Amino acid sequence: MGSEGVVTESLSPFGIARATVNEKPLTKEEVRKYDAYFKATMYLCLGMIYLKDNPLLRQPLRLEHVKARLLGHWGSDAGQSFTYIHFNRLIKKYDLDSIFISGPGHGAPAVLANAYLEGTYSETYPDKSEDEDGMRRFFKQFSFPGGIGSHATPETPGSIHEGGELGYAISHAFGAVFDHPELIALTMVGDGEAETGPLATSWHSTKFLNPITDGAVLPVLNLNGYKINNPTLLARISHEELEALFRGYGWEPYFVEGSEPESMHQAMASTLEDCVKKIKAYQSEARETGKAFRPRWPMIVLRTPKGWTGPRKLGDHFLEGFWRAHQVPITDVATKPESLLKLEDWLRSYKPEELFDEAGRLVPELRELAPSGNRRMCANPVANGGLVRHKLHVPDFRDFKFHILKSGVSEDGSMNRFGTFLREVVRRNMDNFRVFGPDETQSNKLDAIYDVGKKVWLADYFEEDEDGGNLAYNGRVMEMLSEHTVEGWLEGYILSGRHGLLNSYEPFIHIIDSMVNQHCKWLEKCIEANWRVKIASLNILLTATVWRQDHNGFTHQDPGFLDVVANKSPEVVRIYLPPDANCLLSVADHCLRSSNYVNVIVADKQNHLQYLDMDAAIAHCTKGLGIWEWASTDIGEEPDVVMACCGDVPTHESLAATALLRQHLPGLKIRFVNVVDLFKLIPAHEHPHGLSDAEFKAIFTDDKPVIFNFHSYPWLIHRLTYARRGQHNLHVTGYKEKGNINTPLELAMRNGTDRFSLAIDAIDRIPGLGNRGGVARERLLNEQITAKNYAFHEGVDPQELREWRWPF
């Protein structure tokens, strides 16, 4: 099966180096050494994929030395390692403070090989010592059951970016260098990864980087040309288009293209050095003048063959420089002796006997090429962020409390109030805490922050920006209309030892489901890698919630992010739905002080009824759920019904339903329960926050009807409580995917979460009400219809519903 295209030769990755910078900074001797070092890393990469024994090939290679199951990826290793070792030279020459971010998929061998050769790996894992035995164990563990994966997983020293899912290398890198003015994040971007949306837009991050207070990202786009089974787009467009693209993104692209070793070493050494000098010069200029600006930061396009240094062909098929080099390059060593021989020849072509000494340690003349101590990229403490994490200075949240005159009567803007608290958090942590969001910090009523930290903006300015634009070269709020980018920045920021919060409209947080998934997985694995020091939690504030998206319509109504989060390991996820402002403050304080979690807080941004004074709120949030006695009528007795709720708007409607029941059915024994911490509902053995069965029964009973009004999809509550004895009595209401342009009341009615429906649900489930129940039910239905008709004609809910207050 051929291909019909006209072959383009000008984009070939083979041959003598073609480079933007054509100096020769290396002596012949240096070229020899760097090439040897490069070969040592390639030898280790190949060894990881294949060998479980005979690591230095001191015996002829036999099948018993080879792993039973061959796993791992060869394709991107060479380009990454090539970059890493040439940056080592500059780290030593200029005493650079750098980390390495490995973007290409499954590219861990390159990082692992370098971590091992520079000594970091053995320091972290002493059994993977720098000798033959250690190397054997180092090889065997790779992609081996119980061992380590083929990405730069949390087990990899120096990694803050696993890259199992593609797209976030650049945004993670920027997150790491914000407020780390001396740091350079050397960032490999795979040309596969470069096709993803998140990566494609993250190049714009330079418009948010301040050359005075932030460090720099040096991206190296490795055009090795292929993904799993396809060429990559960026390797198959003209040089002119490629160059224009990166200029358009605002970068100064440098090219290093080819495969011939000597010229490539010179080209990469000189190009990287030129880039480092440019970065230093821009930083100096800004720092000396005190005037920030957005330079055209340098980036490198490194075009090398996929699987570089491997055989160009295997039999009739292309290997090096084709997608067949992506994964395990020779797959049939177990069945074909000639393949085993081919592998042995290939391994020996790197001359391990010249690279490693008798003990199996890298020879001294090569060892000295790597930096030492924390200057080694895999040993940089920034990449074990907990090590460099400063304490977050959180003001006393009680100082921001709302004074409740009467529960269920006083009203306040929870989010505005929270904004003032957040402003003080920002003020106390001006180089250590940032607020992230796509475009909604102001819409979400958190704009009080701007008093102390504006929105970072290094792009151009217009005159109207003075009119409340709140833009600044130096700010604390990071807004770009890319949930992916801001989430990636935040992840990079906390992974490198700082603190932050992301605020977003609730429905569109699904855009980053997968990113949050991956961050949860990272955190979960960090528990196992016990040398990793805890980092700040990833705090996500969801507002503009479903029940107040009545006007934006169906596309803006989706509270299902909680279902995604609830699937993650209970060790790392927490979900809070504070019912009012004081609870929001209490919960937020807890989240900001916590570590190693993903905390999700759901709270609406509109004004709402307030219920708990600060002491009560603290007690309530500490317990995570509880009976609100002031709203209950069952004190000291078994209730007839439990009116339960979780979420601010649902609490409001449950309370109104409780009032209707008390009005229409006086004497009814009602217990009012509010849940703040969602995982309280899970059994204690399944989540650290879970209630014991006895505790659960003490609140919900195990035989009385429970009308549970939930913020999100109702099935989540069933899923959390399925093992509880009383679960059959649980009637859960929530968003059932019914909505359009509605008033808040109509939207609630369509989903059965309005006060009338809730009261009727209770009546329908309380045994023995008889005729009283029937009469009350009828009245409630009529009230409901009247309200609905009013809303339909006037376009707004009736005033008495909008301004409803707890009447007792």
Residues near 802 by Cβ (< 8 Å), separated by ≥ 6?
Answer: 796
Min CB(155)–its own copies separation in Å: 9
SS3 211: coil
Q: Please select the residue that binds its own copies; options are 16, 63, 228, 635, rule is CB under 8 A.
A: 228
If one asks whether residue 202 binds its own copies (CB under 8 A), the answer comes out as yes
Q: Please select the residue that binds its own copies; options are 80, 485, 582, 599, rule is CB under 8 A.
A: 485
Q: Please select the residue that binds its own copies; options are 12, 594, 606, 663, rule is CB under 8 A.
A: 12
If one asks whether residue 697 binds its own copies (CB under 8 A), the answer comes out as no
Our CB check for its own copies shows the closer of 108 and 776 to be 108
Which residue is associated with the tokens 């699937």? 567
Q: Please select the residue that binds its own copies; options are 525, 669, 697, 772, rule is CB under 8 A.
A: 525
Residue 75 and residue 325 in contact, taking contact as beta carbons nearer than 8 Å: yes
Among 221-229, 278-286, 333-341, 352-360, the segment contacting its own copies (CB under 8 A): 221-229
DSSP symbol at 555: G
Our CB check for its own copies shows the closer of 607 and 663 to be 607
Residue 151 and residue 163 in contact, taking contact as beta carbons nearer than 8 Å: yes
Min CB(788)–its own copies separation in Å: 10
SS3 146: coil
If one asks whether residue 238 binds its own copies (CB under 8 A), the answer comes out as yes
Q: Nearest-CA neighbor of 562 among 513, 622, 627?
A: 513
If one asks whether residue 768 binds its own copies (CB under 8 A), the answer comes out as no
Q: Nearest-CA neighbor of 210 among 453, 487, 16?
A: 453
Spatial distance between the Cα atoms of 124 and 443, rounded to a whole number of angstroms: 46
Buried b (16+ CB within 10 A) or exposed e, 680-717: bbbbeeebebbbeeeebeebbbeebbbbbbbbbbbebb
Spatial distance between the Cα atoms of 76 and 110, rounded to a whole number of angstroms: 8
Min CB(309)–its own copies separation in Å: 17
Q: What are the phi and psi torsion angles at 677 (to 5°)?
A: -100, 105
Among 79-87, 261-269, 575-583, 720-728, the segment contacting its own copies (CB under 8 A): 720-728
E-strand stretches of 681-775: 706-710, 730-733
Our CB check for its own copies shows the closer of 247 and 348 to be 247
Site for its own copies in 179-198 (CB under 8 A): 192-193, 195-198
Our CB check for its own copies shows the closer of 238 and 622 to be 238
Among 41-49, 199-207, 419-427, 670-678, the segment contacting its own copies (CB under 8 A): 199-207
Min CB(6)–its own copies separation in Å: 6
Min CB(24)–its own copies separation in Å: 30
Site for its own copies in 23-62 (CB under 8 A): 52
Q: Please select the residue that binds its own copies; options are 737, 764, 778, 800, rule is CB under 8 A.
A: 737
Tell me whether strands 251-257 and 18-19 are parallel, antiparallel or unpaired. Answer: antiparallel
Site for its own copies in 250-309 (CB under 8 A): 250
Min CB(279)–its own copies separation in Å: 19
**N residues, the chain:** 808
Residues near 211 by Cβ (< 8 Å), separated by ≥ 6?
Answer: 282, 283, 285, 286, 287, 292, 293, 294, 295
Min CB(374)–its own copies separation in Å: 28
Site for its own copies in 150-179 (CB under 8 A): 150-151, 153, 162, 164-167
If one asks whether residue 564 binds its own copies (CB under 8 A), the answer comes out as yes
Write the binding mask 447 to 466 for its own copies: x where contact by CB under 8 A, - elsewhere. Answer: ---x---xx-x-xxxxxxxx
Residues near 335 by Cβ (< 8 Å), separated by ≥ 6?
Answer: none
If one asks whether residue 532 binds its own copies (CB under 8 A), the answer comes out as no
Alpha-helical runs (H) found in 350-437: 352-355, 364-367, 414-428
If one asks whether residue 67 binds its own copies (CB under 8 A), the answer comes out as yes
Site for its own copies in 590-649 (CB under 8 A): none
Cα–Cα–Cα angle for 109, 110, 112, rounded to 5 degrees: 60
Alpha-helical runs (H) found in 51-128: 77-94, 108-117, 120-124
Among 43-51, 358-366, 632-640, 790-798, the segment contacting its own copies (CB under 8 A): 790-798
If one asks whether residue 334 binds its own copies (CB under 8 A), the answer comes out as no
Tell me whether strands 573-576 and 97-102 are parallel, antiparallel or unpaired. Answer: unpaired
Our CB check for its own copies shows the closer of 34 and 522 to be 522
Min CB(799)–its own copies separation in Å: 11
Which two structure tokens, joined as six digits, stand for 486?
A: 């801001």
If one asks whether residue 489 binds its own copies (CB under 8 A), the answer comes out as no
Q: Please select the residue that binds its own copies; options are 5, 364, 373, 666, rule is CB under 8 A.
A: 5
Tell me whether strands 433-437 and 477-479 are parallel, antiparallel or unpaired. Answer: parallel
If one asks whether residue 68 binds its own copies (CB under 8 A), the answer comes out as yes
Q: Please select the residue that binds its own copies; options are 245, 409, 533, 616, rule is CB under 8 A.
A: 245
Three-state secondary structure string covering 49-71: HHECCCCCCCCCCCHHHECCCCC
Spatial distance between the Cα atoms of 159 and 278, rounded to a whole number of angstroms: 26
Which two structure tokens, joined as six digits, stand for 329?
A: 């390059």
Our CB check for its own copies shows the closer of 442 and 663 to be 442
Which two structure tokens, joined as six digits, stand for 520?
A: 């949860």
Residues near 28 by Cβ (< 8 Å), separated by ≥ 6?
Answer: none
If one asks whether residue 786 binds its own copies (CB under 8 A), the answer comes out as no
Among 277-285, 346-354, 699-707, 787-795, the segment contacting its own copies (CB under 8 A): 787-795
Q: Nearest-CA neighbor of 486 among 281, 205, 230, 256?
A: 205
If one asks whether residue 785 binds its own copies (CB under 8 A), the answer comes out as no
At 420, the amino acid letter reads T
Angle (deg, nearest 10), helices 261-289 and 28-50: 100
Spatial distance between the Cα atoms of 188 and 83, rounded to a whole number of angstroms: 8
Site for its own copies in 385-444 (CB under 8 A): 439-443
Number of C-beta neighbours around residue 468 at 10 A: 10
Q: What are the phi and psi torsion angles at 626 (to 5°)?
A: 175, 170
Min CB(235)–its own copies separation in Å: 8
Residue 218 and residue 183 in contact, taking contact as beta carbons nearer than 8 Å: no
Alpha-helical runs (H) found in 529-625: 561-566, 581-593, 614-623
If one asks whether residue 321 binds its own copies (CB under 8 A), the answer comes out as yes
Q: Please select the residue that binds its own copies; options are 242, 415, 449, 542, rule is CB under 8 A.
A: 242
Q: Please select the residue that binds its own copies; options are 22, 740, 782, 786, rule is CB under 8 A.
A: 740
Min CB(132)–its own copies separation in Å: 20
Q: Please select the residue that binds its own copies; options are 97, 131, 243, 262, rule is CB under 8 A.
A: 243
If one asks whether residue 318 binds its own copies (CB under 8 A), the answer comes out as yes
Q: Please select the residue that binds its own copies; options are 59, 126, 145, 666, rule is CB under 8 A.
A: 145
Min CB(48)–its own copies separation in Å: 12
Which residue is associated with the tokens 């106390």? 428
Site for its own copies in 69-128 (CB under 8 A): 69, 71, 106
Q: Please select the residue that binds its own copies; options are 24, 137, 236, 280, rule is CB under 8 A.
A: 236
If one asks whether residue 354 binds its own copies (CB under 8 A), the answer comes out as no
If one asks whether residue 794 binds its own copies (CB under 8 A), the answer comes out as yes
Among 32-40, 64-72, 649-657, 664-672, the segment contacting its own copies (CB under 8 A): 64-72
Which two structure tokens, joined as six digits, stand for 654?
A: 């449950």
Q: Nearest-CA neighbor of 417 among 576, 541, 581, 616?
A: 581
If one asks whether residue 148 binds its own copies (CB under 8 A), the answer comes out as yes
Site residue total, its own copies (CB under 8 A): 147
Q: Please select the residue that binds its own copies; options are 284, 372, 374, 555, rule is CB under 8 A.
A: 555
Min CB(446)–its own copies separation in Å: 11
Number of C-beta neighbours around residue 322 at 10 A: 18
